[in-house]
Each structure stands twice: as structure tokens, then as C-alpha cells.
């Protein structure tokens, strides 16, 4: 287990897993999380986003305010409910997301380049297995809360 932690630390020192292009955004991690959630679910409402992120609607609104002020997110009124808004990424955010995606793809290619195809498949399989276990544990904890 200590060896795995030291491997993760080595990756971190190399910058693998970090979002180097994101430094220029000057956003907090919670705001970045909001931005990524809007990216995954365009048109989401504030209350739905809050529920998805397990945060209060006022907390999400505060985080969205800066994203909107900085031109990363735009709100569009819901034609059915004038009190509600749908959230979308701006063109600025979409373009930036593409750059981040390209950066991450290149990092992944470099990361895996020292492994042959069979080793890459094995690594992905084992990571998937470990992450699935973590997800199962999180679901179990969530059910116990209810």
C-alpha cells in the first residue's frame, strides 16, 4: 500500500493528473467542479446541479455567480418556470474545455507509452476494478445514511 501511495506522489510531482491549463482559469476547485458538472449536463437547473453535487442551492448559486461573472457559464430562463434558469457553458468555456481535453489525452498517451498493449489493458482493467469497489463502498455508505 505504501508503494502505491509513493507511486501516486511521484505522478503528482511529474504533473500527471494535474490540470496545468486550468491554472490560467483562476478558479477554485469547487467552481471548477461546478463548471465540469455543467459541461456534462448542459441545460441543468441550479437546484438539479445542487442535488447532483450534494450541496445546497445557495452554495451552488454563489459558486455559479463567479463563473457567470467571468464569462464561463450563462443562464437562460426556463420558459415554463420564470423563477428557474438553465445553465450552459459559454463559447469561452467550451473552447477551454477542448484544450483541457487535448492536454489530458496527451498526458495519458505519455503515461501509457512505457507499456505494451497487453500491459495497458491490464492496467486499465485493474484500475477499473479498484474504482468500481470504491464506488460500491460509496453507494453502501449513502444507503446507510438514508
Q: Give the pLDDT confidence of 16-63 residue by residue, as tens digits.
A: 655 555 566 677 778 888 888 999 899 999 999 999 888 898 999 999
Domain of 21, in residue numbers:
2-113
Based on the structure, what is the number of domains in the chain? Answer: 2
CATH code, domain with 99: 1.10.10.10
109 and 120 assigned to the same domain: no
74 and 121 assigned to the same domain: no
Q: What is the mean pLDDT of residues 112-133?
A: 91
- C-alpha to C-alpha distance for 143 and 122, rounded to whole angstroms: 32
Amino acid at each position: 500500500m505504501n508503494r502505491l501511495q509513493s507511486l501516486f506522489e511521484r505522478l503528482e510531482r511529474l504533473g500527471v493528473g494535474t490540470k496545468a491549463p486550468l491554472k490560467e482559469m483562476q478558479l477554485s476547485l469547487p467552481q471548477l467542479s461546478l463548471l465540469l458538472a455543467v459541461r456534462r449536463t448542459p441545460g441543468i437547473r441550479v437546484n438539479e446541479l445542487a442535488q447532483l453535487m450534494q450541496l445546497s442551492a445557495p452554495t451552488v448559486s454563489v459558486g455559479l455567480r463567479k463563473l457567470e461573472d467571468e464569462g464561463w457559464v450563462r443562464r437562460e430562463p426556463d420558459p415554463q418556470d420564470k423563477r428557474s434558469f438553465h445553465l450552459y457553458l459559454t463559447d469561452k468555456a467550451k473552447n477551454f474545455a477542448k484544450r483541457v481535453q487535448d492536454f489530458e489525452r496527451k498526458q495519458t498517451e505519455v503515461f501509457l507509452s512505457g507499456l505494451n498493449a497487453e500491459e495497458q489493458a491490464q492496467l486499465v482493467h485493474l484500475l477499473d476494478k479498484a474504482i468500481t469497489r470504491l464506488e460500491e463502498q460509496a453507494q453502501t455508505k449513502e444507503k446507510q445514511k438514508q
